[in-house]
Amino acid sequence: MNSTGITFLSATETARAIKAKEISPVAAVQAYLDRIDRLDSRLAAYITVIREEALGNAQQVADLIQQGKDPGVLAGVPIAVKDQYWTKGILTTNGSNVYKDFVPSEDSTVIKRLKDAGSILLGKLNLSELAMGGTQNPPWGIPANPWDFDCTPGESSSGSGVALAAHLCAASMGEDTGGSGRGPASYCGVVGLRPTFTRVSRFGMTHMCWFMDAAAPMTKTVEDCAVMLGVIAGYDDKDPYTSHRPVPDYTARMRDGVNGLRVGLIKELHDTEDMHPDVRSAIEASLNTFRALGAEVKEVSVPLAELAGAIFVGVADTEGAGARDEILRNQPGDLDQASRTRLQSAALMPAKVYNRAAKARVLLRRQVMEVLSDVDILLSPTSPYPAPRHTDLTAKFENADDVRKRFFFRRAYTGIYSLTALPAISIPGGFTEDGLPIGLQLGAAPFAEETLFRAAYSYERATNWHTSVAPAILEERI
Amino acid sequence: MAIDKTTVSELAHLAGINIVDDELEEVTSRFSSLMQELDRLRDLDLDSIIPVTIFAEDAQA
């Protein structure tokens, strides 16, 4: 297999090929390093690439295989992580000049578990400043969407989406507070999971909102995502909120099909004039796909869903502003203008309004849980429109109505699961007429990730959207 | 509640936050929009709800 062929394998295909000695871990890492050299100057997916360390670690995995030892489920798989995860001895910028010299003294739990599973860290990925969004001048370059370089790859795990869609890593880690993992997955045409809130440790992950931040595996396939979650999930005494529940083999029931599964289209996230027509068509086609696969499809109502974006910003941004108080007071000039104005506006939140938003969050959870007693899977687009152009995303807000349309509307689609602490996955769901990816979002009850993977895998196999590669990437037109 | 640049400027002063003149308009737009959206929550009956940060693992709602 040639170098480019290696980089087009999924993570699980890579691990299988390495264990079968069809390719060596060193060859896999070198293939990705060469590709990063060829493509990333234009894509700006990476902030830091750790070449020598990656090659050295790959050799160690090769030695284990040579000795007949088990190298782990992700043996030799070249991965990359959002630069929000602490990595011992490696720069961790959080996408901000405020942290431009921050070198952690220990690994985050997610990084440790990924290493223990045999994966090879290639480097740290670009992101919106402080894992927020709308950054106008990212210090380490503007990540380009592989499907259209003039469009955003999504926020805030931008580099994690770009690196996957451009095959600059076999799997990546994003982080998802309000949709920061699922959004880029949607815009880049890859898979992104927000697990149940307490499923994965957040130790060593710089916080945006401490009670909504979630580690988000991002992958080329649903199977890869199930494997990644199995590696990183489980109790961690460094994060007291992690669940003691045992971690299942998330691939075990993945191929069981969806016959009899109850799928609910969220009415409030579909009956809106502001949705892009191609997104609406893709969602309606997905309902037909699930019907054809044997699922029972119905419409369900979550009345507060349309306000989820505002509730999310009211709660999460206020928490974020509180956590960043020192920076806001003492280093506001080190922040990007978009981060600064967003945090400053959130810092002005009256206590009674915050309290009302916090109560509405609980009511939203009740509404969603009631619906989930009637269906197994909730369905909506991940975003009501495809990737916007960079210039549209970063344009200054003209007035309050402009903020509502460009800031709150989209956040309702992903915010609904962030607010309610429920698992949700974004998978490739088709393309617009202009060739931009559309994300299909599936949600489920707490700890029902196995059901999510069942539905997502069935849909993925029935459609094969995930096998598409952006033309500029395929032809290396950079 | 009408929110203008003067109100935002006064709130920021009380909060100890320095908003530069060039960005006061944008902060005002963001804050005003957030208040407008969240004002819609007034119509909900939230009196009996106790806010939580982390939902109990075995909670059904």
Q: Looking at residues A409-427, what average pLDDT do you find?
A: 97
Task: Count the residues in chain A.
Answer: 478
**Residue of A270, A305, A276, A453 whose CA lies nearest to A376:** A453
Residues of chain B contacting A399 with CB distance shorter than 8 Å: 29
How far is A430 from chain B, CA to nearest CA, in Å? 32
Question: Catalytic: which of A96, A128, A156, A160?
Answer: A156
With an 8 Å Cβ cutoff, is B2 touching chain A? no
Using the predicted structure, report yes or no on whether residue A198 has a pLDDT greater than 70. Answer: yes
Amino acid (one-letter) located at B32: S
User: Which superfamily does A3-474 belong to?
Assistant: Amidase signature (AS) domain (3.90.1300.10)
Does residue B1 surpass a pLDDT of 80? no
Give per-residue pLDDT as tens, A339-389.
999 999 999 999 999 999 999 999 999 999 999 999 999 999 999 999 999
Question: How much is the pLDDT for A133?
Answer: 82
Query: DSSP 3-state helix, strand, coil percentages of chain B (rounded to 5)?
Result: 55, 0, 45
pLDDT over 80 at A397, yes or no: no
Decide if B34 and A403 are in contact by the 8 Å CB cutoff. Answer: yes
User: Average per-residue pLDDT in chain A?
Assistant: 96
pLDDT, residue A21, reads 95
Model pLDDT for residues B12-55, shown as the tens digit of each residue: 999 999 999 999 999 999 999 889 989 999 999 999 999 999 99
Q: Which two tokens stand for residue A45?
A: 């997916």
Distance from CA of B48 to the nearest CA of A (A): 9
Interface of B with A in 22-51 (CB under 8 A): 23, 26-27, 29-38, 40-42, 44, 46, 49-51
Residue A176 and residue A132 in contact, taking contact as beta carbons nearer than 8 Å: no
Asked if the Cβ–Cβ distance from B57 to A360 is below 8 Å, we say no
> Does the residue B60 lie in any domain?
no
Quote the DSSP letter at residue B49: P
To the nearest 10 degrees (0 to 180), the angle between helices A351-371 and B21-39 is 50
User: pLDDT tens, A17-63?
Assistant: 999 999 999 999 999 999 999 999 999 999 999 999 999 999 999 99
Q: Is position B24 within any domain?
A: yes
Nearest CA-CA distance, residue A366 and chain B, Å: 5
Q: Does residue B50 lie in a domain region?
A: no
Sequence-distant (6+) residues with CB within 8 A of A272 are: A306, A384
Cis peptide before A156 (omega within 30 of 0): yes
Query: What confidence tier does B61 reach under pLDDT thresholds 50, 70, 90?
Result: low
> How do residues A60-106 score in pLDDT, each as one tens digit?
999 999 999 999 999 999 999 999 999 999 999 999 999 999 999 99
Determine whether A156 is an active site residue: yes
User: Could you tell me what percent of chain A has a pLDDT over 90?
Assistant: 94
User: Per the domain annotation, does B51 fall within a domain?
Assistant: no
Token match 């699980």: residue?
A12
Q: B10 lies in a domain?
A: yes
Given this model, what pLDDT does residue B60 score?
61
Residue B34: in which H helix or E strand, if any? helix B21-39
Please provide residue A184's backbone torsions phi and psi, each rounded to the nearest 5 degrees: -60, -35
Q: Would you state the structure tokens that stand for residue A157, as one six-digit string?
A: 């795990």
Residue B3: helix, strand or coil by DSSP?
coil
pTM over 0.90: yes
For position A407, what pLDDT does the model report? 84
Most A CBs within 10 Å, among B41, B47, B52, B58, to test the A interface: B41
Smallest Cβ–Cβ distance between A348 and the set B15, B29, B41 belongs to B15
For chain B, what is the domain count? 1
pLDDT at A394: 78
Q: Which tens digits make up the pLDDT trace of A315-331? A: 999 999 999 999 999 99
Alpha-carbon B57 to chain mean position? 29
pLDDT at residue A401 above 80? Answer: no
Whether B18 is covered by a domain: the verdict is yes
Q: Residue A420: list chain B partners with CB under 8 A.
A: 55
A180 is catalytic: yes
Q: What is the pLDDT of residue B13?
A: 94
What string of H, E and C letters represents the secondary structure of A185-244? HHHHCCEEEECCCCCECCCCECCCCCCCCEEEEEECCHHHHHHHHHHHECCECCECCCCC
CA neighbor of A213 nearest in space, from A232, A234, A195, A233: A195
Q: Which two tokens stand for residue A227?
A: 């494997």
Could you tell me the residue range of the domain that residue B26 belongs to?
A: 5-41
Neighbours of A139 (CB within 10 A): 17
Distance of residue A365 Cα from the nearest chain B Cα, in angstroms = 6
The CA-based angle A122-A20-A77, given to 5 degrees, is: 15
Query: pLDDT tens digits, residue range A213-254?
Result: 999 999 999 999 999 999 999 999 999 999 999 999 999 999
